[in-house]
A and B are shown apart, each in its own frame.
Chain A
């Protein structure tokens, strides 16, 4: 995973709530067996059917920060939704509320999810609609979103922030505690099932 410290880019206003993972990337685009190459499926139905969909507008084509309505990422556990956003050029998604699995996946894939109160989301929508070229800076070190004269603080779990800043791989961190895992395994009840076939 790439480390994330600070990112400056332009932002696309996605004025929709409860954007589910089937909209971010539909099932038929999940068949790749690689971790990249999912940009084709990103918001494909809206990109195809709605000429004025925000990402079809040339002024937002280079956006790297997506500013979405509440409950972004509901639905399936597909990390492909994160990968598709990353492949589509996004480094940050801002919303007032994210679905848990989506948010959790983002902390593993290196896509930063930033929670701002809904009124701050609306202010940002208004600002980037007035000036699509407005630079927006998301600073994970300082925990702020800054644009024009506005600086908005956001909260993020300390541990998650540390991992993102360092670009640390969870598996490596857990492997430091192998002794604890072995000790736990030694005490698991004998009646628990094994998945190997039984006669």
Chain B
């Protein structure tokens, strides 16, 4: 029977299946960070268990880490305790840790691919919902809760139910200035924040095949914002080119065997999806969100919607609550919304390519004097690469802040937060109420819209800059 890519990867990892029980799935790589792991390690200790495969487990510090003065002790005692707990647990259980200051440190979903640990056909989990990012390589990668973190630490497996299959096909050519972020925001706006619930999404079609690995990661990253279990893309030449020579990529005969296996990782002709969405890339434009969930987005040429126009009562109420929180009036052109903060970073858009795109727009220009822009590379590796290319100078000369690596203002667990009432254009993935700081208001955007917005102080597409006289 013809199979989808996700079904192939799933089936290759079933350790045991029995009627009336979930399948037991083997996990090839378990990524760990400080926020969702301490209670899991405590559970192991309490039961006298060990970590079954420390060699398939890697930990990093990302959510709490400051992005300034990273070598000084963390000022917040609770954040510090969480980091210290991870360090003690990694040492006790023999797990590799990339601590602050280490060349391999960074956001967990940035370092896996960067090190070449993320490879096609693998199962990858992490106590973090954006684990779907790793699906860009054709891996089945998904977020888990702390009880499951403990389960994987103890057994290297997880009880799982077979997910349903959804295809999101994007054909055609993206217009200039439109990027992967706009594709995924458009998909979520179309299907809703629970549109893919219970499904693994496979992104396919000529527009997806044309994307770089960084762009594919941006798309897979936000699968969870559509409620999906995971998102993935079939590996191809772009994937193998990205992996070749990375520290953990296979070498010699192993490389050849791996590449041969990877070439089998595609959806068979005639495989059946439970749901399908088709999008024409040529119709897309830069997308921005106006509300408080990632599905509340529109093309930037639009206006703030009127809740009265939503036929569904739930959606109408959600829109009313969102506009009240966001302090927006129906009918306001999105391009007239003024921001005071621009955040470029996160596991969605904190990779080298994202920084390059933004730097290109900022080069030789100055950001709006009333706007602050934080540039936070996704990892120490990304930071070093950007500095080697002189991007740090471009950002600094434009008036932006150049920070250390971490999650930063994506969720404001460290000091990088919006103040009540402040408004950001952010390249991260969630515009939930208070996500970037208590009372903060978030508009999700692509890196190029973030840069253009920093230049004008209002939500701006790169194509608008000339008209704006910037």
Chain A residues in the interface with B (C-beta under 8 A): 16-18, 20, 22-23, 26-28, 30-35, 45, 69-71, 74-80, 82, 97, 99-101, 104-105, 108-109, 158-159, 170-171, 173-175, 177, 180-181, 184-185, 188-198
Is there an interface contact between A105 and B147, defined as CB atoms closer than 8 Å? Answer: yes
Taking CB atoms, residues of chain B closer than 8 Å to A20 are 293, 430, 432
Is there an interface contact between A77 and B412, defined as CB atoms closer than 8 Å? Answer: no
Bound Cα distance from A26 to B439, whole angstroms: 12
Bound Cα distance from A109 to B117, whole angstroms: 31
Q: Does B346 contact A (CB under 8 A)?
A: no
Contact of A174 among B42, B159, B318, B434 (CB under 8 A): B159
Taking CB atoms, residues of chain A closer than 8 Å to B412 are 27-28
Q: A31-B64, A174-B24, A174-B157 are in contact. Are A101 and B57 (CB under 8 A)?
A: no
Taking CB atoms, residues of chain A closer than 8 Å to B122 are 192
Is there an interface contact between A194 and B248, defined as CB atoms closer than 8 Å? Answer: yes
Bound Cα distance from A119 to B206, whole angstroms: 43
Taking CB atoms, residues of chain B closer than 8 Å to A23 are 432-434
Is there an interface contact between B39 and A195, defined as CB atoms closer than 8 Å? Answer: no
Q: Does B81 contact A (CB under 8 A)?
A: yes
Nearest 7 CB-CB pairings of A with B: A108-B147, A105-B145, A79-B145, A33-B38, A77-B143, A191-B254, A31-B78
Identify which of B170-178, B193-201, B300-308 touches chain A. B193-201
Is there an interface contact between A101 and B144, defined as CB atoms closer than 8 Å? Answer: yes
Identify which of B255-263, B265-273, B386-394 touches chain A. B255-263
Is there an interface contact between A30 and B261, defined as CB atoms closer than 8 Å? Answer: no
Taking CB atoms, residues of chain A closer than 8 Å to B249 are 193
Is there an interface contact between A77 and B42, defined as CB atoms closer than 8 Å? Answer: no
Bound Cα distance from A194 to B145, whole angstroms: 23
CB nearest neighbor in A for B258 = A191
Smallest beta-carbon distance B395→chain A, Å: 26
Bound Cα distance from A197 to B254, whole angstroms: 18
Q: A177-B24, A181-B15 are in contact. Are A100 and B127 (CB under 8 A)?
A: no
Query: Max chain B CB contacts within 10 Å: which of A18, A71, A174, A175?
Result: A18
Smallest beta-carbon distance A20→chain B, Å: 5
Is there an interface contact between B317 and A30, defined as CB atoms closer than 8 Å? Answer: no
Identify which of B148-156, B354-362, B373-381 touches chain A. B148-156
Smallest beta-carbon distance A82→chain B, Å: 7
Contact of A193 among B38, B43, B117, B193 (CB under 8 A): B117
CB nearest neighbor in B for A180 = B16
Number of interface residues of B (CB under 8 A): 83
Taking CB atoms, residues of chain B closer than 8 Å to A26 are 434-435, 438
Taking CB atoms, residues of chain A closer than 8 Å to B157 are 174, 181
Is there an interface contact between A97 and B194, defined as CB atoms closer than 8 Å? Answer: yes
Taking CB atoms, residues of chain B closer than 8 Å to A28 are 412-413
Contact of B49 among A18, A171, A195 (CB under 8 A): A171
Contact of A108 among B116, B145, B229 (CB under 8 A): B145
Q: Does B56 contact A (CB under 8 A)?
A: yes
> Besides A30-B413, A31-B413, A109-B145, 16 other CB < 8 A contacts?
A22-B430, A22-B434, A30-B35, A75-B129, A77-B143, A77-B145, A79-B145, A170-B147, A170-B159, A185-B26, A185-B156, A192-B122, A193-B117, A193-B249, A194-B55, A198-B247
For this complex, 15 residue pairs linking A to B, each with C-beta atoms less than 8 Å apart, are: A18-B194, A33-B42, A45-B439, A70-B314, A75-B430, A76-B128, A79-B145, A104-B145, A105-B148, A171-B43, A171-B154, A180-B16, A181-B157, A190-B254, A191-B254
Q: A22-B430, A71-B194 are in contact. Are A27 and B411 (CB under 8 A)?
A: yes
CB nearest neighbor in A for B44 = A171
CB nearest neighbor in A for B254 = A191
Is there an interface contact between A159 and B413, defined as CB atoms closer than 8 Å? Answer: no
Taking CB atoms, residues of chain A closer than 8 Å to B96 are 195-197
Is there an interface contact between A16 and B81, defined as CB atoms closer than 8 Å? Answer: no
Taking CB atoms, residues of chain A closer than 8 Å to B193 are 18, 71, 74
Taking CB atoms, residues of chain B closer than 8 Å to A170 are 147, 151, 159
Smallest beta-carbon distance B217→chain A, Å: 18
Bound Cα distance from A18 to B122, whole angstroms: 32
Is there an interface contact between A77 and B434, defined as CB atoms closer than 8 Å? Answer: no
Taking CB atoms, residues of chain B closer than 8 Å to A101 are 129, 143-145, 224
Is there an interface contact between A78 and B36, defined as CB atoms closer than 8 Å? Answer: yes
- Residue-wise, chain B 84-123 has the 8 Å CB interface mask toward A (1 for contact) of 0100000000001000000000000000000011010010
- Residue-wise, chain B 277-312 has the 8 Å CB interface mask toward A (1 for contact) of 000000000000000010000000000000000000
Taking CB atoms, residues of chain B closer than 8 Å to A159 are 20-22
Smallest beta-carbon distance B152→chain A, Å: 10
Is there an interface contact between B15 and A180, defined as CB atoms closer than 8 Å? Answer: yes
Would you list which residues of chain B between 228 and 263 have a CB under 8 Å from chain A? 229, 247-250, 254-255, 257-258, 261
Taking CB atoms, residues of chain B closer than 8 Å to A109 are 145, 147
- Residue-wise, chain B 399-437 has the 8 Å CB interface mask toward A (1 for contact) of 000000000000111000000000000000010111100
